[in-house]
A and B are shown apart, each in its own frame.
Chain A
Amino acid sequence: MQLESMYQEIILDHYKNPHARGLREPFDGESFQVNPTCGDEVTLRVKVTDDGKVEDVSYEGQGCSISQAATSVLTDLVIGRSVDEAMTTMDAFTELMQGRGQVEPDEDVLEDGIAFAGVAKYPARVKCALLGWMAFKDALARTSNGVEAG
């Protein structure tokens, strides 16, 4: 196995220098997610504007490089986008992660997220990559204006 195929440089960069990390106020929805098999956890908040835009995503958590980097990439992909766009991106990322390495990622949609294509070959690590996204989806559903969009 080539370790580098899983741990792309982009992933290690996000792990060492995470984007948008820290919990911020104000927020409209918050979610706490945990991976019961390994104990990794994330608390994630979203702030959504009245016209359905993701204004901010902030988070705290502890976990492996994959889960932390994936959450960092998530913030790049959704902050400043409409909730609808963010959900489309989430679907694309989820499809990539559940594709067992058979799905060709679209860089225009997933940007740095394409670096996780190698992780998709390791079923035990897919949950790590999706932890932050599960929190994002749940936090959106907990906002009053996110429910319809989600």
Chain B
Amino acid sequence: MTTTDSLPVDVTALRTDFAILSRTVRDGKPLVYLDSGATSQRPAQVLDAERRFVETSNSAVHRGAHQLSEEATDAYEGARATIASFVGVAPGEVVFTKNATEGINLVAYAMSNAGTAGPESARFAVGPGDEVVVTEMEHHANLVPWQQLCQRTGATLKWFPVTDEGRLDLSGLDSMITERTKVVAFAHQSNVLGTVNPVEPLVRRAHEVGALVVLDACQSVPHGVYGRGAVDFGALGVDFAVFSGHKMLGPSGIGVLYGRRELLEAMPPFLTGGSMIELVRMEGSTFAPPPQRFEAGVPMTSQAVGLAAAVDYLNGVGVDRIAAHEHTLVERALAGLSGIPGVRIIGPADTVDRGATVAFVVDGVHPHDVSQVLDSVGIAVRVGHHCAWPLHRACGVPATVRASFYLYNEPSEVDALVAGVREAQRFFGVGE
């Protein structure tokens, strides 16, 4: 049995920062939280930062000449700089959104607005004959907005299939991404399978044909990538990327859209109104430079401060160490679960290019029923299609159970999951 002492992260010490992890559920069972892929828990440091901001400097940013407004603006822009640096980009390339879903919609709507927005944004315009390429393993957030863009503009949606091993099938790379392709949008790490997708060949091919690359980094930025460390959008060479605060120890209600500077400068707005304008007359308006152009209305200030505190927390532990820690957890989970007869892992069976998310099915017990048994012993997992319905169809299963790990999870919690799955088999009279 691994002791926590030998892990890359001192989990025992770190868990005291997360009050929720010491609560009990369902008649006194210690909480085993294995659903960080859906939403992560927040440490005291994040809550304290938010509270400190609200108690000392709360006011509207980028307006007013009073001291509070000045402090709030500094806090908001300081948060932007911290978060930008975390993903290897410049502060001006970071747009705050409500969540990652809004970030993707922002790009997709900006692209349909580009059709009528003037010559400087012509490169974003799509129409009949143009193609948008996604993958079969996308979260609905990185699929439905592109379906809708195609529906609005007459463009065609295409997608890379998924192999039986749960990897992207890029064998048709050059025929899938062609001169007609305007956008290639894909997940850095699958929110279901845990698969880490190869960014480099997709970026290379997309840029060869002049297509824009949009990376859904919701499941990679919070955890880093094992062996490669923190996610660096600049180094990856993507054009746009999104991630959300609540999956990385931060508040809900804030997400990030990264866009390369020259692209954001040329891109028309999505939401319009206050804060994003340059000059307003009754006849029409001009718009502020990015990132303000894409942040209409009063922004989510304390959430930005909280997210920056979350980034400080992750940096304090070290993203390399977090990724290494999660790697040991997923190794343990894969070994434990695949050792149970009647349990099938949906996704890569090995730990190569794989994050700490494990989806599985139990023969003869519906995922909903598995999760109910797990819940009865205090284990929180996600169940269903995890907003990736087409992926589940491709894998031939209606739903899966998903356990997702984070820096605060312990090896003993992986063991509890494995024991819980055996209990589900026993309860429903299947298995050995």
Task: Report which A residues bind B (CB closer than 8 A).
Answer: 1-3, 6-7, 12, 37-41, 62-66, 122, 125, 128
Contact = CB atoms under 8 A, between A and B. Distances in A.
Nearest to A62: B398
A38 B385 contact: yes
Nearest to A12: B428
B373 A3 contact: yes
Contact of A64 (B368, B385, B392, B427): B368
A39 B427 contact: no
A1 B375 contact: yes
Contacts of A12: 428
B398 A39 contact: yes
A117 B372 CA distance: 16
A125 B372 contact: yes
Nearest to A128: B368
B130 interface: no
26 contacts: A1-B26, A1-B375, A3-B373, A3-B376, A6-B372, A7-B369, A7-B372, A12-B428, A37-B384, A38-B367, A38-B383, A38-B385, A39-B384, A39-B389, A39-B392, A40-B399, A41-B398, A63-B368, A64-B368, A65-B366, A65-B368, A65-B369, A66-B368, A66-B369, A125-B368, A125-B372
A39 B376 contact: no
Contact of A3 (B367, B368, B372, B389): B372
B27 A1 contact: yes
A65 B373 CA distance: 12
Given A39-B392, A39-B399, A64 B369 contact: yes
Nearest to A41: B398
Given A39-B392, A122-B372, A125-B372, 14 more contacts: A1-B26, A3-B372, A3-B427, A6-B372, A7-B427, A38-B383, A39-B389, A39-B398, A40-B368, A40-B399, A41-B398, A64-B366, A65-B366, A125-B368
Contacts of B368: 38, 40, 63-66, 125, 128
Contacts of B376: 1-3
Nearest to A119: B372
Ordered nearest first, which 8 A-B pairs have the shortest CB separation? A64-B368, A64-B366, A38-B384, A1-B26, A39-B385, A1-B376, A3-B376, A39-B398
